[in-house]
Structure 1
């Protein structure tokens, strides 16, 4: 029987500080762009890739920057007390490294090496290296800070419930496969040199990630979380929530473009590929918004910290000694609390997931 693991207090504090540092880094760049843009509306359309007009100064951030800001802020808040703190740190660190590594070649594009962008480019490079270092440090902290959990008594369950795991498998699996299908489509339809720019990011703003690279990272995150959903793995909830946030933001960007260019008004006149693209945007928003409340809800409480059978609808109670007094009719299990908070009292009704 595998002994449950926990993250030490020092590792939790280190991880929370690293997440807070990443949040401050993202917030500083977003604040800089808010000041440089003529309005928040102009900044939003810049994030869509179809700006209406230029800013007072060159803009740098993309739509993933505010999403990552939210991810870092939430992670910094929940890591000190979450039963899945190691999975949270590892997920956030791996996603950060996977996304930010693309800046190493985007920022070496010829167009960024100009006098007007020299200071911005230098700061963007420093931020990229700092984000990569912090992302790798999060993964190392999660791996090095694990210790056997010998605390007696019940503890919150880090694994998702059966319903949440199944939902994650279906929605994230579909979203990941759709992203892969679109990359295959663009690889076939676009000329080789044009498709190459989806990964090289030629002429991109300083902090943007190439579209093809971001799409494949999203597909990898979604499919990994979907696979873990079947086994109700601990990492499904944090990684799935990150994927859900990316899906919702990507779909919101697409729907904004569809409304601006009146694609919905002329939907019947569009080519089949364009119609499928619009449908994909709506699916991404729906899947992302549906997954957030499902995965934010914790699974059943673990009375002794001993993993049960991943396929069982509820983990059976485990007691090394006979109970000394009466128990609840449902075995002392309480419902999964919202988010990453403490478990409810044992007198609560049985869990829904």
Structure 2
């Protein structure tokens, strides 16, 4: 099957949807940072620390809001850049839409969402509408990527290129030295190279399995009923825009990490943006646990902690290291698009007096045979 690329309209629509998602998350984060006194309380509340009085200055958002805003801005920049291969742009939009839908979906059935005692009912109503808007925007992103694709083979004809990738002006010329840049690792544009792909796959798979192992331990210790509560959630004592339930959040991390690891192992064209999204969430989750442990003093008395608590901190440190490393590796350039730069073919003969490039074959003689 031939490769498909995003149309210009799909890219533009995707960028607008990303900007709307970023605006929603940034607006609530800015509201909390402005209303809270001091602003540091918002940071610790985002990390899961004890919240202050349930009044008008109480944080309404969670750490997920600035994270989604930052991810939406990154996806918008990726999609708007014309030099980014279409599969990478599509992967960035799909990764953002999938992560937003999975992380916001529990707020549809969690009791108490949008209810913040002691605050204005209009504020909590807007918070609930924000959840619905984010889910609608995430679904729209997936629809735009699915519907806004066309076959890649038609693009070259509208840019004045032949079926061989050469400019039409070069067809009448002779002495073409190099028509298309030679890639050291041929393949579909945007796909990761072999070394970085394997490294990313190993790191994300290890991090995903570490989170899955922790969830299996919690299932065995808390029982089916207790684990179900942590999976489906109980928002009776949470902010108006609560984070997903703890076990649901962990399950999403496992799903995204293992999915990105499989994509990187297969060197799919969309593997790099998927790996960036999964690695960023893993790194943020581990860093939040470590920062809260340092703030509450748990890290200072590490030797006195129980085995499960020490294992939790060790897992968080591993998530930070593996997530940060996978993030840096996934940001490396993938296989370049051979169509980019193909117009710089070295040819001579199409213009009078054109100089012959080095190592070019001599032009054919215009003299009759035998001279």
The verdict on a shared fold, with TM-score over 0.5 as the criterion, is yes
* Shorter-chain TM band: 0.7 to 0.9
Cα distance in 2 for residues equivalent to 1:127 and 1:71? 17
Secondary structure of the 1:18 match is helix
Answering whether residue 228 of structure 2 is matched by residue 196 of structure 1, we say yes
8 A contact 2:46–2:63 mirrored in 1: yes
8 A contact 2:128–2:241 mirrored in 1: no
Unaligned runs of 5+ in 2: 166-179, 182-187, 341-346, 349-355, 360-371
Unaligned runs of 5+ in 1: 306-322, 329-353
Aligned residue number for residue 69 of structure 2: 69
Q: CA deviation at 1:121?
A: 2.5
1:265-344 equivalences under 5 Å are: 265-303=300-338
8 A contact 2:128–2:240 mirrored in 1: no
Q: CA deviation at 1:185?
A: 1.1
Give the TM-score of the pair, scaled to structure 1. Answer: 0.81
Secondary structure of the 1:101 match is helix
Q: CA deviation at 1:13?
A: 0.2
8 A contact 1:172–1:223 mirrored in 2: yes
Q: CA deviation at 1:67?
A: 1.2
8 A contact 2:60–2:239 mirrored in 1: yes
Instruction: Please list the CA deviations of residues 237-292 of structure 1 after superposition, one character each: whole Å capped at 9, or x if unmatched.
Output: 11111111111111111111221233333223322211111111111111121122
8 A contact 1:75–1:88 mirrored in 2: yes
8 A contact 1:198–1:211 mirrored in 2: yes
Q: CA deviation at 1:218?
A: 1.0
8 A contact 1:112–1:206 mirrored in 2: yes
Q: CA deviation at 1:18?
A: 0.2
1:49-198 equivalences under 5 Å are: 49-51=48-50, 53-54=52-53, 57-80=57-80, 81=82, 82-83=84-85, 84-106=88-110, 108-109=111-112, 112=115, 116=119, 118-150=121-153, 151=156, 153=165, 157-198=189-230
Q: CA deviation at 1:145?
A: 0.8
Answering whether residue 208 of structure 2 is matched by residue 205 of structure 1, we say no
8 A contact 1:63–1:249 mirrored in 2: no
Cα distance in 1 for residues equivalent to 2:51 and 2:95? 35
Aligned residue number for residue 293 of structure 2: 258
8 A contact 1:104–1:125 mirrored in 2: no
8 A contact 2:207–2:323 mirrored in 1: no
8 A contact 1:171–1:287 mirrored in 2: yes
Which stretch shows the higher mean deviation, 268-277 or 22-31?
268-277
Q: CA deviation at 1:297?
A: 1.4
Aligned residue number for residue 316 of structure 1: none
Cα distance in 1 for residues equivalent to 2:271 and 2:114? 40
Equivalenced residue count is 310
Question: Following superposition, which runs of at least 4 residues in structure 1 exceed 3 angstroms of deviation?
Answer: 52-56, 113-117, 152-156, 191-194, 323-328
Cα distance in 2 for residues equivalent to 1:7 and 1:239? 17
Cα distance in 2 for residues equivalent to 1:87 and 1:197? 33
Out of 255, 263, 267, the position equivalent to 1:228 is 263
Cα distance in 2 for residues equivalent to 1:259 and 1:116? 31
Q: CA deviation at 1:85?
A: 1.4
Cα distance in 1 for residues equivalent to 2:60 and 2:272? 31
- Structure 1 residues 268 and 12: CA distance shift in structure 2, 3 A: same
